[in-house]
């Protein structure tokens, strides 16, 4: 019998045979799940992870101190409780009992401390560097003048005390993979290629760097039975490749790239399989004034922003599965009534360019706007809008790895910059992207008043009071526009009926529990 594609299968079954998927707890464990991802990192070390795709894969094997539900609320993870001092400089963490690593060793508070230290032992930037930068002893450990974090004390097997040099109201919420470092060190520097040493619902079965990774159910997981006996992560490539594999029943899940979104949304044959969730993400064009003199003028930046019709892009290009944010913090994390909506006003943009001394864009040095291939079509619109106003922008498409490397070095005139929350607090966007000392600041923007507000917020443990300070800080960013905010598309995916509605999280993760 010839193979039947999914869309053909839809027609053969008709609506009567397509009952909704049962929730996982009501299903027996299925043999396997095949997840298609655009690319897989060549090596995925849970201690040095610094990109979203690696985090998606590692989420099946590793847990952190806290976790979040589909609505972004913070829940206990490997820590069952956390208590901060009034100035948010000291934290006391209670570590969950009766948790076992994939290696067979029981989890203790000492393992948490060693995971933190091992994550900082290398030289590169990663998520742990952001999360632990305020812990006492961080600078010495990074400078290799110390081997441990002096600010972390193991009180007993279940209790950890953390002292920070500065207030850090969000310390317990950062995503930090907890690893059996003792077992990893015994296995050698490339241990993560052949074994997993986490506590998550799945454990590593085999890995072919950059091509495929297979994990199997962890029978000792603290959360009980998992929905699949085995999960395979497969590199599919960008564009329509993942869609083709899904359509041919070779994978059970794939994200839909931005440039492929309209084709999928407009095809009724895919309607049954579509799933989406709003992103906890900031998405902007970063403009580097060191490379293009005109970018230093606020009037030029405002003009470029005014030339983008965001509501039209959300509705027409993204087919309604996108959001227009007023600021740089997702509204689900911070509803900021102090911000005005981002306007579309070509006539005002023209006047601002004239006031800045660049009438109809004349005098602005030609510059490049760099993106990865899957965003080419979207950026054709932005660049054409700027070109129509005389702004000499040119779109340049770079291979993904080259783009990531060069954008981190700020080696482009301007480029697409996206940041997905690793924990549900506005600080993840404000401090880590716009503080003058942040290594992840995309354009090197600096504002002393903003830095002062962030320091104030860091010392306020109460989230309600902290939010009021966040609003003022966000207003400073938007009044100066160091970046040009864009439309934020939802996470859109094709998923088989074996998967639940909440398989995708707003943080770009995958719900394996």
Q: Which helix (H) or strand (E) holds 207?
A: strand 202-208
29: confidence class by pLDDT, cuts 50, 70, 90: low
Asked if 174 and 297 sit in the same domain, the reply is no
Q: If you compute the radius of gyration of the chain from its CA atoms, what whole number of angstroms results?
A: 24
For position 43, what pLDDT does the model report? Answer: 75
- Tell me whether residue 189 is in a domain: no
Give the DSSP H/E element, type plus range, for residue 484.
strand 483-485
- Domain extent at residue 119: 62-183
Note the pLDDT tens digit of each residue in 415-425: 999 998 888 89
In the chain, the percentage of residues whose pLDDT exceeds 70 is 93
Closest by Cα among 218, 219, 186, 190 to 204: 218
Query: What is the pLDDT confidence band of residue 7, given thresholds at 50, 70 and 90?
Result: very low
Q: Average pLDDT in the 14-37 region?
A: 54
Q: Which of 12-21, 31-40, 428-437, 496-505 has the lowest mean pLDDT?
A: 12-21
d(Cα 178, Cα 317) in Å, to the nearest integer?
41
Mean pLDDT of 406-429: 91
Is there a contact between 76 and 62 (Cβ–Cβ < 8 Å)?
no
Q: What is the average pLDDT across 57-73?
A: 86
Average pLDDT over residues 432-458: 93
Mean pLDDT of 241-263: 92
Which of 395-399, 438-442, 449-453 comes out lowest in average pLDDT?
438-442
CATH of the domain at 408: 3.10.105.10
Flag whether 167 is in a domain.
yes
Q: What angle do CA 185, 173, 467 make, to 5 degrees?
A: 155
Give residue-wise pLDDT tens across range 323-353.
Answer: 999 999 999 899 999 999 999 999 999 999 9
CATH of the domain at 174: 3.90.76.10
- Per-residue CA distances from 268 to 242, 257, 306 (Å): 18, 18, 35
pLDDT (average), residues 429-442: 90
Instruction: Give the whole-angstrom CA distance, residue 243 versus residue 102.
Output: 34
Q: Which of 139, 167, 183 is the endpoint of a domain?
A: 183
Q: What is the predicted pLDDT for the residue at 22?
A: 32
Q: Do 171 and 306 have their domain in common?
A: no
Let me know if 403 is exposed, middle or buried by CB neighbors in 10 A (0-12, 13-18, 19+). Answer: buried
Tell me, yes or no, whether 498 lies in a domain.
no
Least confident of 120-129, 272-281, 363-372, 490-499: 120-129
On the CB side of 31, CA atoms within 13 Å amount to 0
> pLDDT at position 175, please?
83
Give the separation between CA 53 and CA 372, rounded to whole angstroms: 15
pLDDT in tens, 186-231: 999 999 999 999 999 999 999 988 899 999 999 999 988 898 999 9
Which is more confident, 251 or 40?
251
Residue 159: CA atoms inside 13 Å, Cβ hemisphere, count?
5
Contact indicator for 497, 30 with CB cutoff of 8 Å: no
Mean pLDDT of the chain: 89
Measured torsion, CA atoms of residues 334, 404, 56, 111, in degrees rounded to the nearest 10: -90
pTM listed for this prediction = 0.83
Which range, of 21-25, 248-252, 305-309, 410-414, averages the lowest pLDDT? 21-25
Does a structural domain hold residue 428? yes
> How many other C-beta atoms can be found within 10 angstroms of the C-beta atom of residue 409?
8
pLDDT at 150: 97
Q: Enumerate helices (H) and strands (E) in the chain, giving the number of each.
A: 16, 20
**pLDDT category of residue 13 using cuts at 50, 70 and 90:** very low
Residue 452 domain flag = yes
Q: How confident is the model at residue 408 (pLDDT cuts 50, 70, 90)?
A: confident
The residue out of 156, 183, 210 marking a domain boundary is 183
Q: Over 70: is that where the pLDDT of 19 sits?
A: no
Is 163 found in the same domain as 291? no
Give me the DSSP letters along 342-367: PP--HHHHHHHHHHTT-GGGTTPPPE
Cβ–Cβ under 8 Å, residues 117 and 149: yes
Specify whether 163 is located in the same domain as 285.
Answer: no
Q: Is residue 336 part of a domain?
A: yes
The answer to whether residue 360 is domain-embedded is yes
The 10 Å CB-count burial string (b at 16+, else e) for 423-457 is bbbbbbbbbbbbbeebebbbbebebeebbebbebb
Q: What is the pLDDT of residues 70-86, one digit of tens each?
A: 677 788 999 999 999 99
pLDDT at 18 over 60: no
pLDDT at 49: 84
Name the more confident of 225 and 163.
163
Number of separate domains in the chain: 2
Domain limit, last residue, from 183, 199, 218: 183
Please answer whether residues 266 and 272 qualify as being in contact, where contact means their C-beta atoms are separated by less than 8 angstroms.
no
Q: Is residue 296 part of a domain?
A: yes
Read off φ and ψ for residue 336, nearest 5 degrees.
-105, 95
How far, in Å, CA of 475 to CA of 469, rounded?
Answer: 10
User: What is the distance between the alpha carbons of residues 390 and 337, in angstroms, rounded to a whole number?
Assistant: 34
- Please provide the distance, in angstroms rounded to a whole number, between the alpha carbons at the two ends of the chain: 37
Is pLDDT above 90 for 321?
A: yes
Going by C-alpha positions, the residue among 39, 99, 94, 104 that lies closest to residue 63 is: 99
């Amino acid at each position: 019998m010839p193979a039947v594609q999914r869309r053909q299968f839809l027609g053969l079954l008709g609506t009567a045979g397509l009952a909704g998927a049962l929730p996982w707890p009501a299903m027996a464990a299925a043999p396997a799940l095949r997840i298609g991802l655009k690319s897989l990192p060549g090596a995925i070390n849970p201690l040095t992870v610094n990109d979203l795709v690696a985090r998606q894969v590692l989420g099946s094997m590793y847990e952190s101190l806290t976790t979040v539900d589909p609505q972004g609320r913070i829940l206990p993870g490997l820590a069952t409780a956390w208590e901060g001092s009034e100035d948010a400089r000291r934290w006391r963490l209670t570590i969950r009992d009766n948790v076992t690593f994939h290696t067979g060793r029981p989890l203790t508070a000492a393992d948490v401390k060693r995971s933190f230290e091992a994550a900082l032992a290398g030289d590169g930037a990663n998520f742990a560097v952001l999360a632990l930068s305020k812990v006492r002893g961080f600078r010495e450990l990074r400078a290799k003048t110390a081997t441990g974090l002096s600010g972390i004390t193991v009180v007993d097997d279940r209790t950890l005390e953390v002292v920070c040099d500065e207030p850090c109201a969000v310390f317990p919420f950062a995503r930090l993979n907890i690893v059996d470092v003792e077992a990893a060190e015994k296995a050698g520097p490339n241990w993560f290629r052949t074994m997993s040493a986490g506590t998550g619902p799945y454990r590593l079965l085999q890995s072919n760097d950059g091509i495929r990774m297979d994990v199997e159910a962890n029978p000792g997981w603290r959360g009980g039975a998992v929905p699949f006996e085995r999960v395979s992560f497969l590199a599919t490539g960008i564009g329509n490749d993942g869609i083709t594999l899904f359509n041919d029943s070779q994978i059970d899940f794939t994200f839909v790239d931005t440039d492929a979104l309209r084709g999928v949304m407009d095809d009724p044959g895919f309607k049954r399989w579509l799933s989406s969730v709003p992103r906890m993400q900031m998405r902007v064009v970063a403009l580097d004034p060191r490379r293009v003199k005109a970018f230093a003028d606020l009037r030029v930046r405002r003009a470029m922003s005014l030339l983008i019709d965001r509501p039209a892009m959300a509705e027409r290009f993204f087919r309604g599965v996108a959001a227009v944010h007023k600021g740089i913090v997702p509204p689900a994390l911070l509803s900021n009534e102090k911000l005005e909506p981002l306007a579309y006003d070509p006539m005002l943009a023209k006047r601002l360019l004239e006031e800045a001394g660049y009438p109809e864009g004349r005098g602005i040095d030609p510059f490049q706007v760099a993106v990865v291939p899957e965003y080419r079509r979207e950026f054709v619109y932005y660049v054409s809008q700027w070109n129509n106003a005389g702004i000499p922008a040119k779109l340049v498409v770079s291979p993904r790895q080259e783009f990531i490397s060069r954008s981190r070095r700020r080696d482009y005139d301007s480029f697409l910059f996206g940041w997905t929350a690793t924990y549900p607090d506005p600080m993840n966007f404000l401090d880590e992207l716009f503080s003058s000392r942040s290594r992840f600041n995309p354009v090197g923007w600096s504002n002393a008043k903003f830095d002062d507000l962030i320091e104030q917020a860091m010392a306020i443990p109460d989230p309600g009071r902290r939010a009021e300070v966040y609003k003022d800080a966000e207003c400073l960013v938007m009044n100066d526009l160091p970046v040009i905010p864009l439309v934020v598309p939802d996470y859109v995916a094709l998923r088989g009926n074996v998967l639940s509605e909440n398989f995708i999280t707003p943080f770009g993760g995958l719900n394996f529990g």
